[in-house]
Chains A and B, each alone.
Chain A
């Protein structure tokens, strides 16, 4: 675990190197206001005057709808809307808009690789939320205020116990290479930031050729955890590799027959990163939302809506689950290597899943 945390510190220093290049430093707020049960430095009157808020998010539609509805309940004068897409396509859309000088979005939520790229392109506006004190320094950009890890997607292995007895199910990462599971497993596609994270962190533990060996098992690839779980509940597949813990909790709450395996080698915890966008059309509303979202109130709403883990130090577990701190979490030991590995991952993963 210490090795992983050191890795995180390394990552933070990387973010610091790229973030400190002349961005505004006046976003730190010495005396935040208490409003609706959380502390904020946003100008609420101004935010309400803006009256709108546009969020670009990767969170599933129904979860995102619950989150904005909860925010609206506290701030009825602000009407939040959102665009939901997979991380890469959402980021490509955002980049295309900015390249053409069109600024529609106020806040963005993408995976950590894309967040880092956005930071390099000076895409974030700096705003040090008073809530950031509750997040470890390695979970924030350096200097802090550009982005924050606001969600953790813990991922490992899930299976349907009605199709696979517990003693027949894989227990460790290495077990998934057993030929008896050939043709029965699914994974996420290369578009998934979580899958990239899983690929990299498990490869660090299991060796460089580990995932290449999975190709012979002919796993099927899907864009979302929902499709993955749908298929094992229905019996089309038996095992989900890189299964999101949040998805397991969500399906379990509906009564679906599922079991989740936490391999002894550890479980990847892929961060979802949030930040206010530079040149946002509604900057005060964006700051207010970020403060609310990072606060215990917002994080609780997020966990109830999406079942994801909160990275806050004082986080409670998601409904029906356990807190991230209870797991042996895997993070890249070499963040430089991870951030630069996207192309290699895309090519290797597309081969494994039959696209190329």
Chain B
């Protein structure tokens, strides 16, 4: 007891030394700088009403923002699709996460791995697969329905609901991963107490489980909603045939046209920032008005709820999801990748492996895939530790301005990735360090835009760890570093592993900033697949997508086996 530490000054993180404080402030400043620097270019571009390719702008005005009224339909379309997709993704993510983490459903480990697969796929892949499955005239499912029911054009994926469906299936998987991470860290004794006192399983779910995972759930909602607002691939593949534009596809058109309408695209992107700012403020208000700590000093052993025979029904729900989100689309892609030209009309089908041969001769597959995997591993490994420190700064330290730090690091999530990519392009082109055209600039860009993902994933877990654990160690004289190593990191382990995987996968499938920043010697796979879709044909794109999916799955399996020990302890 002689080692009692003196009370920490208010401006200092609890018990942190000056060096620790300086290190924290440096991390926060660097991360904030990475975002604020391109933000300056984004703001400048949005008020540029002159030559869009002149920087700094010569003619300044607010015409680009006034022009937004012309895009009202586009904004409403975006809101509809984002809300519908978020609702579907969160509902599915919550149910699946609860089944797989809190019940004794059979085949849990396998299902969990299979449910993560849609997240490993480039978003375009899902959209492409579902366009093959449910195009009104030629979709496999519609062809099947014509044969079975005798009705044609029953399903139409080229609708706003179809876009939201695909977005929820393939971009909403992150909700499942994020909610699962939180549920895994939850003390089951609280649920058990509820059951012991006579509450039913559903009542326990809604009265105990749901409130306990609220911060993680809210974090997932905020994150998924932002993802959906900035979603591009599904709207591109499925929206254009129905002449349905959302913000990202409108921006795509604006930036592709000549002269490029960068100002208008920036203004449109910044308009979404208002929506996201309000959402994030709501999230912060929710998590700060109550305590959500579920991991305390008391040891616990996660114990699933025995669902009796109902567990088979729950397993069926998971398998149905796997069938719709994994098996069906991958089968459709595999078949298409083996056709000389994409068709669902059986007598037109001509099979070949030529597409794989062609794909493997392309730079877009060979060097791009290696580059993507290298970037994914590098960014995830460095990113997860830096982001863990950031989360600690935001939620556990008393560093002045930590609230502002959170707002700033979430910014890249608040504007469509493509718009932020444009800002990063201008920013890194105009910096007097020769990084443009190298993998380094992509690594920095990925780290910058994936900060919200890492911070949101880790914060859900951090908020569950009772501060008393750290305070207890502090009282016993443990230094900040010792406390981080022996208390915070082990407890954060499931969250760290989940965050690592999320960042790795998000890096490999990144499109929005890669489109602008990749150079002739720094190609990456996801934009190459988009480019292939728009110019090389469905069958070759399907082959490229299959190669990418196989490579990513192999990489993940390899990494999981290497870190098996780490997982075991998680």
Is A257 located at the chain interface by the 8 A CB criterion?
yes
Q: Is the interface on chain B under 10, 10 to 19, 20 to 34, or 35 or more residues?
A: 35 or more
Contact A354 B256 (CB under 8 A): no
Bound complex: CA A282 to CA B255 (Å): 29
The reply to whether B53 and A92 form a contact with Cβ atoms under 8 Å apart is yes
Q: In residues 68-114 of chain A, which contact B (Cβ within 8 Å)? A: 69, 81-89, 91-93, 95-97, 99-100, 102, 104-105, 113-114
Are B255 and A92 touching (Cβ within 8 A)? yes
Stretch of B273-281, B469-477, B485-493, B535-543 at the chain-chain interface: B535-543
Q: Are A97 and B429 in contact (CB under 8 A)?
A: yes
Q: Is the CB of B519 within 8 A of A223?
A: no
**Interface on chain B toward A: helix, strand, loop, or mixed SS?**
loop
When the two chains form their complex, are residues A60 and B255 in contact, meaning their CB atoms are under 8 A apart? no
Tell me the residues in window 215-260 of chain B with beta carbons closer than 8 Å to chain A beta carbons.
Answer: 240-243, 245, 250, 253, 255-260
A105 CB contacts on chain B under 8 angstroms: 520
B348 A257 Cβ-Cβ under 8 A: yes
- Chain A residues 310-356 with CB under 8 Å of chain B are 342-343, 346, 350, 353-356
- Check A236 against B136 for contact (C-beta < 8 Å): yes
Query: Given the complex, which residues of B lie within 8 Å of A65, measured CB to CB?
Result: 358, 361-363
Known: A81-B520, A235-B137. A255 touches B341 (CB 8 A): yes
Taking a contact as CB atoms under 8 Å apart, the answer to whether A236 and B138 are in contact is yes
* CA A236 to CA B426, docked complex, whole Å: 40
Determine the chain A residues whose CB is within 8 A of the CB of B540 once the complex forms.
62
Using an 8 Å CB-CB cutoff, how does the interface string of B389-403 with A read, 1 for contact, 0 for none?
Answer: 000000000000000
Confirm or deny: A309 has a beta carbon within 8 angstroms of a beta carbon on chain B: no
> Chain A residues with Cβ under 8 A from B258's Cβ?
87-88, 91-92, 113-114, 117, 191, 342
**CB distance A84 to B535 under 8 Å?**
yes
Segment of A20-28, A173-181, A197-205, A224-232 engaged in the interface with chain B: A224-232
Residues in chain A near residue B243, CB distance under 8 A: 218, 220-221, 353-354
Interface string of A210-226 (1 = CB under 8 A from B): 00000000101111101
Taking a contact as CB atoms closer than 8 A, the residue among A100, A117, A350 that contacts B253 in the complex is: A350
Check: B447 CB closer than 8 A to any chain A CB. Answer: no
Q: What is the chain B residue whose CB lies nearest that of A222?
A: B240
Q: Is A54 an interface residue (CB 8 A)?
A: yes
B325 close to A (CB within 8 Å): no
A190 nearest CB neighbor, chain B only: B257
Contact B437 A230, beta carbon cutoff 8 Å: no
Tell whether, in the assembled complex, residue B429 and residue A96 are in contact, meaning their CB atoms are under 8 Å apart.
yes
Closest chain-B Cβ to A340's Cβ sits at a distance in Å of 12
Contact count A vs B, C-beta below 8 Å:
150
A233 at the interface (CB under 8 A from B): yes
* Chain A residues with CB under 8 A of B253: 189-191, 350, 355
Supposing A61-B362, A255-B350 touch, asked if A233 and B343 sit within 8 A by C-beta, the answer is yes
Q: Which of B348-401 contact A (CB under 8 A)?
A: 348, 350, 358, 361-364
The answer to whether B240 and A221 touch across the interface, beta carbons within 8 angstroms, is: yes
A277 to chain B minimum Cβ distance, whole angstroms, is 13
Select one of B135, B250, B257, B518 contacting A236, CB under 8 A.
B135
Are B255 and A89 in contact (CB-based, < 8 A)? yes
Name which residue of chain A comes closest to B138, CB basis. Answer: A234
B521 (CB) vs chain A CBs: closest residue: A81
B314 to chain A, nearest CB (A): 38
B345 within 8 A of partner (CB): yes
In the assembled complex, which residues on chain A have CB atoms less than 8 Å from the CB atom of B138? 234-236
Q: Which of B260, B531, B538 is in CB contact (< 8 Å) with A61?
A: B531
Chain B residues within 8 Å of A354, by CB: 243, 245
Q: Which residues of A contact B12 (CB under 8 A)?
A: none
Q: Which residue of A lies closest to B258 (CB)?
A: A88
Within 8 A of B (CB), among A241-278: 251, 254-257
How far is B363's CA from A86's CA once the two chains are assembled, in angstroms? 17
Is there an interface contact between B256 and A191, defined as CB atoms closer than 8 Å? Answer: yes
Partner of A62, one of B54, B240, B536: B536
Chain B residues within an 8 Å CB radius of A221: 240, 243
Q: State whether A231 touches B241 (Cβ < 8 A).
A: yes
How many angstroms from the CA of A60 to the CA of B256 in the assembled complex? 16
Per-position 1/0 for B25-65, Cβ under 8 A of A: 00000000000000000000000000001110000000000
| Residue in chain A with minimal CB distance to B528 | A61
Shortest beta-carbon distance, A4 to chain B, in Å? 24
Complex interface bits, A40-82 against B, C-beta within 8 A gives 1, otherwise 0: 0000000000000010000011100100010000000000011
* In the complex, B130 has a CB within 8 A of chain A: no
Taking the nearest CB of chain A, how far is it from the CB of B416, in angstroms? 16
Contacts of B259 in A (CB 8 A): 342-343
Question: Known: A97-B429, A355-B245. Contact between A92 and B260, CB under 8 A?
Answer: yes
* A95 and B53 within 8 A (CB): yes
- Among A97, A99, A355, residue most surrounded by chain B Cβ atoms (within 10 Å): A355
Q: Which of A61, A99, A226, A256 has the most CB of B within 10 A?
A: A61
7 pairs across A/B with beta carbons < 8 Å? A62-B358, A88-B260, A96-B426, A104-B437, A230-B537, A235-B137, A255-B350
